[in-house]
Structure 1
Amino acid sequence: MDTPTIIIDRSKLMNNIKKMADVSSSNKVSLRPHIKTHKIPYIAKEQLKAGAVGITVAKVSEAEVMADYGITDIFIAYPLVTEKKIKKAIELSKRIRLIVATDCLQGANLLSKFASQSKIKLEVRLEVDTGLRRTGVLYNEALELAKKIMVLPNLHLTGIYTFRGPVLNGKTTLQLKEAGIEEGKVMVTLAEQMNREGIDIRDVSVGSTPTSEFAAEVAGVTEIRPGTYIFYDAMQEKYGSCAEEECAATVHVTVVSRPSHDLAIIDGGSKTFATDVQPNQPPLLLKGFGKIVGHPNVTLERVTEEHGMLHIEGDANIRVGDVLQIIPNHICSTVNLHNEVSIIDQYGDCERYAVLARGKLQ
């Protein structure tokens, strides 16, 4: 195959699917993986076959793609606040089980308004900020907001959810167990408060790839939503979520130039590798924009659109024409740059899959 291209090891892929399915089943919580990492209906169906109850997406357009390929239980874990998106979600909810999200009264009122006009009832979850400082109602304001949402017509508030990642006491951490348990406990405590106030919260949905296995241990957590675990990446390895051998997806690139002893150029730059996870940032302090397999002394130090500059410390048997495998820092954003991936089994047989939900911005 020509390069640059993403190659997925089928055996590692299936092992990763089973690993997280075992985490959910052993803790008796539901698994609703986020498809932001792979964006491929075939892989989502493999996750469902292994025991996932449904999937999570970020965009209505992603949900539409997955529904078109037969997936019938989808959570859009992103606040919908515009008429066009809400109406598209309502149409989708007429053919599948669709859960939508809100984190403010303004958004909830819009969901209620358009659901009432369409004479349907929308299943809604309230997003809560538990420390990431992204979307989500502030934790200490969540109870009062839930009371107001509960009485809105044509909405059924069934759960609360959060995304926090490896954060502990408000800061990014490598203490994954402590972070996961804290995440689970604060959400369960909130759900218990809501239930005492007469709000029937049946779903407490938490967990990222680094924290899910620990958050799932907390009594009262009902669902985990990891995404990156399907492939893993250099960032997850550095967190300690996986070993290098578990990373199922690598970007294959070709060395196109070797101008000097300490420099080699590959045919993958910022249009091939995600650059959203920058090197040398705490707490991970990643080296470069990806991990070059088998070459610990080589760093993908710089990227322009079509060029990747490898810095070589000491000697490296790297020549023009060589194909290298690189585990990107962030596989989710990297996959979104590619039209297709190739899945290869232990016998070398290859199947190509279009990344059908890539580039879905709405």
Structure 2
Amino acid sequence: MSESSWYQISHTENLQTPALAIYPNRVRQNIDLLISKIDHVSRLRPHIKTCKAIEPVLMMLSAGIRKFKCATIAEAEMLGMAKVPDVLLAYQPVGANVERFLNLMQKFPETSFSCLADNQFSAEKLNEAARQSSTQIKVYVDLNVGMDRTGIDPKHAAAFYGFCAIKEALIPVGLHAYDGHIHEPDVEIRRKEWHTVFMQVKTVSAEIMEKGFDKPKIIAGGTPTFPFYAEETDVECSPGTFVYWDDGYQSHFAEQPFLPAALVVCRVISLPDETKICLDLGHKSISAENGLQQRVRFLNAPELKLISQSEEHLVAEAGENHRYQIGDVLYGLPYHICPTVALHQFGVTIENHEITGSWETLARNRKITL
């Protein structure tokens, strides 16, 4: 097969569709490319929200990456199972999740866990729970740098850092800034928007040091701003999508040449009229938070125009005298891979065009054991 057909699977007769197909060799190339884009591997802290599987985490560990970031207790537990040395739960534990987080720390003592905090009420709750457990929790102060989702106003961040520092069971160690609102395709415009954000972070860092604290660690950015943070020698970078990549990022961030490494494979299941085909790819199998034309692009059927989608069906206009028949296999590149992966219990691995095994999407579960 030619390089252009890298994704094709030789024997699909026993492949149940819709399926998530993962290409480990491409995953490995993406990891290597990520490492090549930064001065030292110790500054990488990948977010595992995209893969949610232990196998790519082990691949990253083998490549020298020792720090990771996650968003759920289940993801953090999976990282503990993989014996990751350093894990940031990039989320603020609230309610019953405070106890779960403490149980996580107890279950995996060889892993150094930390979490986010952005307000005094939550910090008090974390402190009290940790104190009662005779332990301490490392916290990163979460900054709202423009996404307006979580985080404290940077103007109040240094004072809050000091508030955490006087708590018996809290250890403030740094700052966290996620600038997911920055996704301008034009790289120079994106760089200018990033610079405005990073100046806020640097200002907070300076204010903290003026209060007599050690220089705080900084964990910042996602994939769109990764190239800029990679140039800053004192920032840990947290891209996530790079591991599998997707059509959205491939079309918007051309300066980052990661490879698509995960696809959704589906079949033609019906021919409702002379020009339409129906596929077994409903929005239970691929992320549907974007408009219909921004959900999937078929690598071996780029001319298809999507018409409608429901839970288990995707209808497309194929045109008159089209060639499609019942049972034909289509390979779709998701526009947004992260939530797509979470819809699949496992992904089949494809190497040299053959199905070689499967990777369980373990952390798609809200709970593993804790």
Q: Which residue of 2 aligns with 1:190?
A: 204
When residues 55 and 355 of structure 1 are mapped into structure 2, their CA distance, relative to the original with a 3 A threshold, is: same
1:65 Cα deviation after fit: 2.7
Contact 2:242 2:258 (8 Å CA) reproduced: no
When residues 325 and 117 of structure 1 are mapped into structure 2, their CA distance, relative to the original with a 3 A threshold, is: same
Deviations 1:58-98 (A, max 9, x none): 1112212331343342110001121x211221222231210
Distance 1:257 1:334 in 2: 23
When residues 277 and 49 of structure 1 are mapped into structure 2, their CA distance, relative to the original with a 3 A threshold, is: farther
Q: Does 1:150 align with 2:165?
A: yes
Contact 1:274 1:331 (8 Å CA) reproduced: yes
Deviations 1:236-262 (A, max 9, x none): 112125789811111000001122343
SS at match of 1:127: strand
Q: Which residue of 2 aligns with 1:97?
A: 112
Distance 2:54 2:325 in 1: 38
Aligned with residue 312 of structure 1, among 315, 318, 340? 318
1:344 Cα deviation after fit: 1.4
Distance 1:301 1:22 in 2: 41
Distance 1:333 1:75 in 2: 20
1:315 Cα deviation after fit: 6.3
Q: Does 1:353 align with 2:352?
A: no
Q: Which residue of 1 aligns with 2:6?
A: none
Distance 2:340 2:238 in 1: 20
Q: Does 1:111 align with 2:97?
A: no
Distance 2:205 2:138 in 1: 17
Taking the TM superposition and a 5 Å limit, the aligned residue runs for 1:134-283 are 134-165=149-180, 167=182, 172-175=183-186, 176-221=190-235, 223-241=236-254, 246-279=259-292
When residues 337 and 9 of structure 1 are mapped into structure 2, their CA distance, relative to the original with a 3 A threshold, is: same
SS at match of 2:362: coil
Q: Give, as a single letter, the amino acid of the residue that structure 2 aligns with 1:71.
A: V
Q: Give, as a single letter, the amino acid of the residue that structure 2 aligns with 1:156.
A: I
Higher RCO (C-alpha 8 Å, min separation 6) = 2
Paired-residue identity, %: 25
Structure-1-length-normalised TM-score = 0.89
How big is the alpha-carbon RMSD for the aligned residues of Structure 1 and Structure 2?
2.2
Structure-2-length-normalised TM-score = 0.87
When residues 262 and 244 of structure 1 are mapped into structure 2, their CA distance, relative to the original with a 3 A threshold, is: farther
Q: Pick the structure with more strand per residue.
A: 1
Gap runs ≥5 in structure 2: 1-14
Q: Give, as a single letter, the amino acid of the residue that structure 1 aligns with 2:149.
A: R
Gap runs ≥5 in structure 1: 280-286
